[in-house]
Chain A
């Protein structure tokens, strides 16, 4: 397949996003922007790992936040009980991955043999049970309130990474080299590594087999590939990535609760990001995650203003209220699935093909 102009455009955009994220602490010097940037990094990994499932293999799972939550809660519970440090983070991450793998294998073997639609329903049921259990087992998980804990000492805002001649925190272009910055770069670098690993995986022979299964299951089976085994494998793989992303998010937020890691709202966000960005291209995950998170943080303000402006007209202000942004995204989502099923990245990449 010869690269099209569109492909270059998409890759350049992704590269630009990567550069912006790399220099985010220097470019946008307020707390909220850094929060947005870190969230974008983590969601890129989460959405890309979901794309492995939905885009590359064509299976729809609603249990992705469950795995994300396992990773987050693994780190959170251990950080709370063992105190801040690297050991609980690593152990928690491993525990999260282990639980995720067990669940993924169980769900996969039980239900990947049946139709895609059954799988979607079963994962939905499993995820909801985990969500309910989490809010009930409050001794372990903190229930609805979640768990607050301290991150490793390196990431404390008071930690000095670099000092100047006076022994104070070194400032470069107004940015203090403190623990907050270290935490951001921890998130950025691990997310980048995870993303590159997934990118490498999709280009591998294994990734090609998955695409073959997505395109024509019967033919792939006939050539001699064991479809169920491959599907279960990719389900486990994506669960692992999601779980690690959860651990990183837990370390960054210093708080883990159902709303930040397990809720169905996050699952819907992931779904929207994958479809809006473009299924079946890792690049789409990046674009989708960036667009949606920016919308989440900044569209609300815009809509709140619009709602104020339209005060007095029936219904419209309510539909434009800041909390109703999901309404509009839902409509955009439906229209995209109808008219541009490949999403932004997929459509753009196909765009330059006509010569």
Chain B
């Protein structure tokens, strides 16, 4: 038994969970082609959720601040991205791939830029006064979420908003009898790129070292003379920008968005952050992929169960590891 545990740990420990889940699903689904489609869909969804959740997790790890208004960035990102794409619909209609790519890049950049600015505003105006007071933090960020959602309603109205997307991302690749939606592959690759970038920044640069040290023991880093609060603004802004990027990607994925999008996704984001363990991006990625795979497999195998699947997953994991799979905070 202990030998088995050791082997498992050497192979990657909890990182094997998504693989195990995929294998179980493979047996249950039976048809390899639908399994591949579902797996790609799950991975793509996981990556988009990872974008939204990573900032929340880091912000909590670093400063003990949980932002219930995080979903506002997701919604705003989705709507800003969609608006830019709608504004550039002339470019999208043209036959030039370069113009279409440019429109897409501009839309994603607009969402990121918006996230950065909104994050800075949110941090200094809303959250700064209530550091270290969990009750008021929850209340204030909740209030901010209400205001943000209402603002979106005032600007974009309550009816569903159609999202244009570049034509080269439409359709799907067909390999044998397996079909893969191009947008999903794109979402997966973008998410992976962001994860690798975050991983390198956190593990290979001085700033990343300070962030990780701050998550581990903030007082000690402050005692050494570093301004953790300034670092925190930066992390908060990046986290908000990632959430907005995730929202914009999600808008393209759904193609029809409503202002309640952020609120609906927030539940999944919270579950991911809890499963993964607060404060670590590796944990968040793991949680996001688990949730993405689980909801896609169960949506195929037992549609009625799919609704509760994330909740069941969370309860099971919390019973096994109360602090999440890979918590950074010891």
- Among A58, A115, A327, A337, the residue within 8 A (CB) of B150 is A327
Known: A132-B307, A330-B143, A338-B140. A110 touches B318 (CB 8 A): yes
- Among A318, A333, A341, the residue within 8 A (CB) of B154 is A318
Q: Is B147 an interface residue (CB 8 A)?
A: yes
Report how far A318 CA is from B142 CA in the complex, Å.
Answer: 22
Write the chain A residue with the least CB distance to B151. Answer: A327
**Interface-side segment among B180-188, B191-199, B216-224, B263-271:** B263-271
Write the chain B residue with the least CB distance to A58. Answer: B135
Question: In the complex, which of the residues B134, B267, B271, B314 has the most CB atoms of chain A within 10 Å of its own CB atom?
Answer: B267
Known: A110-B315, A337-B140, A338-B129. A318 touches B147 (CB 8 A): no
Q: Is B167 an interface residue (CB 8 A)?
A: no
| Residues of chain B with a CB closer than 8 A to A330's CB | 143-144, 146-147, 150
- Mostly helix, strand, loop or mixed at chain A's interface? helix
Report how far A60 CA is from B138 CA in the complex, Å.
Answer: 8
Q: Annotate B214-237 by CB proximity to A: 1 below 8 A, 0 otherwise.
A: 000000000000000000000000
CB pair B154 A327 closer than 8 Å: yes
Report how far A338 CA is from B134 CA in the complex, Å.
Answer: 13
**Interface-side segment among A23-31, A116-124, A141-149, A152-160:** A116-124
Q: Is B304 an interface residue (CB 8 A)?
A: yes
CB pair B147 A271 closer than 8 Å: no
| Residues of chain A with a CB closer than 8 A to B158's CB | 323
Report how far A209 CA is from B314 CA in the complex, Å.
Answer: 32
Interface residues on chain A, size class: 35 or more
| Residues of chain A with a CB closer than 8 A to B68's CB | 120
CB pair A271 B139 closer than 8 Å: yes
CB pair B134 A334 closer than 8 Å: no
CB pair A118 B274 closer than 8 Å: yes
Q: Is A20 an interface residue (CB 8 A)?
A: no
CB pair A337 B66 closer than 8 Å: no
Q: Is A208 an interface residue (CB 8 A)?
A: no
Write the chain B residue with the least CB distance to A326. Answer: B150
CB pair A110 B143 closer than 8 Å: no
Write the chain B residue with the least CB distance to A106. Answer: B315
Write the chain B residue with the least CB distance to A117. Answer: B66
Q: Is B319 an interface residue (CB 8 A)?
A: yes
Q: Is A264 an interface residue (CB 8 A)?
A: yes
CB pair B134 A116 closer than 8 Å: yes
CB pair B304 A120 closer than 8 Å: no
Known: A121-B274, A129-B308, A315-B154. A264 touches B138 (CB 8 A): no
Q: Is A133 an interface residue (CB 8 A)?
A: yes
Q: Is A111 an interface residue (CB 8 A)?
A: yes
Q: Is B132 an interface residue (CB 8 A)?
A: no
CB pair B267 A124 closer than 8 Å: yes
Q: Is B320 an interface residue (CB 8 A)?
A: no
Report how far A327 CA is from B307 CA in the complex, Å.
Answer: 30
Report how far A330 CA is from B149 CA in the complex, Å.
Answer: 10
In the assembled complex, how far is the CB of residue A138 from the closest CB belonging to chain B, in whole angstroms?
A: 12
In the assembled complex, how far is the CB of residue A243 from the closest CB belonging to chain B, in whole angstroms?
A: 21
Report how far A334 CA is from B72 CA in the complex, Å.
Answer: 15
* Residues 323-355 (chain A) with a chain B CB within 8 angstroms: 323-324, 326-327, 329-331, 333-334, 337-338, 341
- Among A54, A118, A333, the residue within 8 A (CB) of B146 is A333
CB pair B136 A129 closer than 8 Å: no
In the assembled complex, how far is the CB of residue B299 from the closest CB belonging to chain A, in whole angstroms?
A: 13
CB pair A333 B143 closer than 8 Å: yes
Q: Is A91 an interface residue (CB 8 A)?
A: no
| Residues of chain A with a CB closer than 8 A to B140's CB | 334, 337-338
Sample of 15 further A-B pairs with CB below 8 A, known A111-B318, A327-B147: A113-B322, A121-B270, A122-B314, A122-B318, A124-B270, A126-B311, A129-B310, A268-B146, A271-B139, A315-B154, A315-B155, A323-B153, A324-B154, A329-B146, A331-B147
Chain B residues at the A interface, C-beta cutoff of 8 Å: 60, 66, 68, 126, 129-130, 134-136, 138-140, 142-144, 146-147, 150-151, 153-155, 158, 263, 266-267, 270-271, 273-274, 304, 307-308, 310-311, 314-315, 318-319, 322
Chain A residues at the B interface, C-beta cutoff of 8 Å: 54, 58, 60, 110-111, 113-118, 120-122, 124-126, 128-129, 132-133, 136, 264, 268, 271, 275, 315, 318-319, 321, 323-324, 326-327, 329-331, 333-334, 337-338, 341
Cross-chain pairs A/B with CB under 8 angstroms, 13 sampled:
A60-B134, A110-B315, A116-B138, A120-B138, A124-B267, A125-B270, A129-B307, A129-B308, A136-B307, A327-B147, A331-B143, A331-B147, A337-B136
